[in-house]
Amino acid sequence: MTTLEDRSATTEGPAPVAEPAATTEVSFDTSPEAYRHWTLSVDGEVARLVLDVAEDGGIVPGYELKMNSYDLGVDIELHDAVQRIRFEHPEVRAVVVTSAKERMFCAGANIKMLAASPHSWKVNFCKFTNETRNGIEDATAHSGLPFIAAVNGTAAGGGYELALACDQIVLVDDNSSAVSLPEVPLLGVLPGTGGLTRVVDKRGVRRDLADIFSTTAEGIRGERAVQWRLVDATVKARDFDAEVARRAAEAAAGSSRPGAGATGVALTPLRREVDGDTTRYEHVRVVLDRDSGTATITVSGPTEVPADVDALQAEGDAAWLLAATRELDDAILRLRTNELDVGTWLLRTEGDVATAAAYDEFLLAHREHWLVNETIGFYRRTVKRLDTTSRSLFALIEPGSCFVGALAEIAFAADRQYMLEGQFEDDEDPKPPAVIRLDAFNTGLLPMGNDLTRLQVRFLGSADELAAAEAAVGRDLLAADAAELGLVTGTPDDIDWEDEIRLVIEERASFSPDALTGMEANLRFAGRETPETKVFGRLTAWQNWIFQRPNAAGPEGALRRYGTGKRADYDRKRV
């Protein structure tokens, strides 16, 4: 992610930027009427997302967002806009992404923001941007919603990576507009939102040509960009709008989205109540224990099942899975960004097992309906956020929980699962012993980024164990059953439960957070690689490391000297 903004600056390095995570509580709440950087418009079957970044609209002070460069605030709006197209506008069957600025599509991530922000902020920013780009691709793959990048000016670094997330890239042929990934030659870092991966894995650019492209700061334009597969077409300025409109109409005609006559579901503001270290939503509760460095995240299951899809749609965004997923997604994002010292998340559920199972059955019976499909897709992407979160995740499966089907994926996303055997003997309101129940959500509907189910990853070394687990679909599995099938890590009884969980948490807190992040990221994505796992793996390892090296981030490094007229002073030793 790179910008071309402010190359003419003569000051010695960027001005300091306020440390966002330390001084600013970041909110992911927004809506189209509050956007400062994007405009969302709908004309029949085609939506347009137009980028016009407000230079003074940075999410924190200390930098100007020149030349359509972006920061986290710009991406928060983009994420919101894509969600609203999917849920509020089922009539939309194609999306055009373009710029309102002349000769500039997007200059990428703001350099001054990157250079002066804390390392944790840079990595969280890159991660959210990756997830937003993946969400665009997910919309095409799972919702039949194609995106067309109308690149009406230069697209550099993260700006080109935004275009890469789209299905088609149309570049204006005006003798100056180019596409580029200039991170290596200009900044000493890498294209952090999947640029290298998408160029070769998605666009099919030949490796040697990709090498030239990624080390050519000025980028590639015109017919050469088409020949190298960097874009799909280059069009003279006079014909540009007509060609984009033609392609959008063609893409809309081939979409599987409902189209005209479909009624969407409005995404209303989340209701969130914060009381000290406790945050309550309607279906999600987050309790922080700063002494132990833990966040306990509890998701409440459904209390009733819709009679039919009309009843589901009538509930709007209050429908249980949609509402709970919005809340869980928000909780994950807020914790990841604002609570860096809270390194262990304890994942819980509560509710009636039978009702949760019936709700799953309803969703499975109607999953071809566009709203059910979108809701399941949103939940799939939200559980993927857990997979890519650099926190230790422990599932606590206790009496009164409802780890059934879709909700059971929260447990399987965890690094370990602890399930109480029996009941809490001193509970004033005794609840039935905890159970786990599997269904089709666990056997294929909610894959990880590697396109494997979490059960397949769990039992990667044993087809027999996987088959035994999948054969248990539909059964209520007590602690002993779950342990026998390998679905849980441990099954302490009431006498040992409190001490064992406490010791697990204390042990985790004694380890290096950096080592844990690397270990967890490696272990969670066993099995084959996909473009998605490559993107996050390289962000976790390569970019995490390179962003801290003096060649990039030191006082004489490329990020600091960018825009000063001085070249970076590199340590030439290969490491």
- At residue 562, the pLDDT reads 84
Q: Domain 273-524: give its CATH superfamily.
A: 2-enoyl-CoA Hydratase; Chain A, domain 1 (3.90.226.10)
Q: Where does the chain hold its CATH 3.90.226.10 domain(s)?
A: 20-259+541-561, 273-524
pTM: 0.94
Neighbouring C-alpha atoms within 13 Å toward the C-beta of 345: 28
Question: How far is it, in rounded angstroms, from Cα 439 to Cα 425?
Answer: 30
395, 411 in Cβ contact below 8 A? yes
- At residue 146, the pLDDT reads 98
Q: For the stretch 319-341, what's the b/e string if a residue is b when 16 or more beta carbons lie within 10 angstroms of its beta carbon?
A: bbbbbbbbbbbbbbbbbbbbbbe
Q: Which two tokens stand for residue 284?
A: 């999600």
Q: Where are the alpha helices (DSSP H) in 144-289?
A: 158-164, 195-197, 207-214, 222-227, 237-253
Closest by alpha carbon to 189, among 1, 44, 433, 442?
1
Burial (CB < 10 A; 0-12, 13-18, 19+), residue 150, is buried
Question: How far is it, in rounded angstroms, from Cα 518 to Cα 5?
Answer: 33
Q: Which amino acid does the sequence have at 351?
A: G
- At residue 18, the pLDDT reads 52
Fold of the domain spanning 20-259+541-561: 2-enoyl-CoA Hydratase; Chain A, domain 1 (3.90.226)
28, 77 in Cβ contact below 8 A? no
- At residue 19, the pLDDT reads 53
- At residue 14, the pLDDT reads 44
Q: Which two tokens stand for residue 463?
A: 């087809």
Mean pLDDT by runs of 10 across the 575 residues of the chain is 39 47 79 98 97 96 94 98 98 98 95 86 91 96 97 97 98 96 91 91 97 96 97 98 98 95 96 97 98 98 97 98 98 97 98 98 97 98 96 98 98 98 88 96 96 97 96 98 98 96 97 92 90 85 79 87 87 87
The structure tokens 């950096």 sit at 514
Q: How many CB atoms lie within 10 A of CB 239?
A: 12
- At residue 21, the pLDDT reads 42
Q: How many CB atoms lie within 10 A of CB 570?
A: 15
- At residue 303, the pLDDT reads 98
Separation of CA 503 from chain center = 32
